[in-house]
Amino acid sequence: MNLLPSAPLGATPVRAMTIAGTDSGGGAGVAADLRTFALSGVHGCVAVTAVTVQNSLGVSAVHTIPPEVVAGQIRAVVTDIGVQAMKTGMLANGAIIDAIVDVAAEVGLGRDRAIPLVVDPVCASMHGHQLLAPEAMDTLRDRLIPIATVVTPNLDEVRLITGIDVVDGDTQRQAAVVLHEMGAQWAMVKGGHLRSSPRSADILYDGTEFLEFEHVRIDTPHDHGAGDTLASAMCSALAHGMSVPDAATFAKAWVSESIRWSYPLGKGHGPVNPLWRVAGP
Ligand SMILES: Nc1ncnc2c1ncn2[C@@H]1O[C@H](COP(=O)(O)OP(=O)(O)O)[C@@H](O)[C@H]1O
Ligand SMILES: Cc1ncc(COP(=O)(O)O)c(N)n1
């Protein structure tokens, strides 16, 4: 695969920010995003939205950060360090989403603004634990999706956001149309959960054409953090100035390799592993 260029040692690299929750097990959320940022030549900045008590078996508690502290982290970084792209992951509740959308207008974040925004609309962990309050769904739909440069839901999130039950490529494309009509510049509907298909295909749509990104399905239970890794790789590529389709091509190859080299950890689901980038077999 084609990699992104790294800055020469000592020079200031491209910057990106993740607005997301922590996972104490280190598999998903901020930890996954920072791994991918660093390994793809990007200095990663962080706005923490929530601390989760989590391991390979699931999430047992969540402590949310006050909305003004989330907005403060974003403002502090943009006004000093500067970033070329951002992504959102776990946002926990509607008040945090409101704070992000308000500060986004102030700092020039989102579609048709200076800083592109990847919205990974995380609603639950892979174990089924809730990571976004159900009453925040309207705020996500009405305020955050309309400022997304690209929104990257999995099929459970598609059902919650659009009501569409994706069962095949046709319904996957239908969902992408609805997400684009909600205001996202591009919608990427991920097909990882269509487990009956021998290939894992994601559909990208911008109101004019459907693009498909696929990879043979890798047989592993260790896919914790796959969605975060896809979205943060896309964020890295956008920070490097790539177009959304080129960023999606990069991100799909990045996450596929990271799933291929995932490893067992704890008694449950191990994490995907972008360390293939520096530690070959
Ligand atoms: N078993 C797999 N083999 C190859 N690619 C996969 C597999 N599972 C998921 N993917 C890919 O990983 C990315 C994350 O997808 P998905 O599992 O749908 O989202 P999430 O991790 O948010 O639940 C997508 O690009 C998807 O196609
Ligand atoms: C803090 C945080 N963010 C995101 C996820 C989703 O990742 P997954 O779907 O692999 O559980 C998670 N479990 N925890």
- What's the one-letter identity of residue 271? P
For the record, the structure tokens of 6 come out as 């790294």
Residue 266 has pLDDT above 70, yes or no: yes
- What's the one-letter identity of residue 195? R
- What's the one-letter identity of residue 127? H
**Residue of 22, 59, 125, 190 best suited for mutating to test ligand 2, as the one with most atoms within 8 Å of CB:** 125
Neighbouring CB atoms inside 10 A of 176's CB total 29
104 Cβ below 6 A of ligand 2: no
DSSP letters along 126-145, please? TTS-B-B-GGGHHHIIIIIG
The phi, psi pair for 151, rounded to 5°, reads: -115, 135
Q: Are 272 and 48 contacting, i.e. CB atoms less than 8 angstroms apart? A: no
The string of pLDDT tens digits covering residues 81-93 is 999 999 999 999 9
What ipTM did this prediction achieve? Answer: 0.99
The residue whose C-alpha atom lies closest to atom 9 belonging to ligand 2 is 126
DSSP letters along 155-170, please? HHHHHHHH-----SHH
Q: Are 162 and 175 contacting, i.e. CB atoms less than 8 angstroms apart? A: yes
Looking at residue 279, what is its pLDDT? 82
By CB atoms closer than 10 A (0-12, 13-18, 19+), residue 158 is buried
For the record, the structure tokens of 143 come out as 């305020």
Distance between Cα 116 and ligand 2 center (Å): 22
Strand partners, 271: 224
For the record, the structure tokens of 13 come out as 């690299």
| Average confidence (pLDDT) over 60-67 | 98
Structure-token match 């459907």, residue found = 210
Q: Are 217 and 197 contacting, i.e. CB atoms less than 8 angstroms apart? A: yes
Q: Are 28 and 266 contacting, i.e. CB atoms less than 8 angstroms apart? A: no
132 Cβ below 6 A of ligand 2: no
Looking at residue 125, what is its pLDDT? 95
Residue 52 has pLDDT above 70, yes or no: yes
For the record, the structure tokens of 11 come out as 């020079």
Looking at residue 1, what is its pLDDT? 83
The string of pLDDT tens digits covering residues 128-142 is 999 999 999 999 999
The residue whose C-alpha atom lies closest to atom 3 belonging to ligand 2 is 29
The residue whose C-alpha atom lies closest to atom 2 belonging to ligand 2 is 29
Looking at residue 144, what is its pLDDT? 98
Q: Please give the share of the chain, as a percent, with pLDDT higher than 90.
A: 96
Please name each of the domains of the chain with its CATH number.
14-276 (3.40.1190.20)
Neighbouring CB atoms inside 10 A of 160's CB total 17
Mean pLDDT over all residues of the chain? 97
| Average confidence (pLDDT) over 116-139 | 97
Looking at residue 281, what is its pLDDT? 56
By CB atoms closer than 10 A (0-12, 13-18, 19+), residue 146 is middle
In angstroms, the CA 168 to CA 18 distance is 31
DSSP letters along 177-200, please? HHHHHTT-SEEEE--TT-TTSSEE
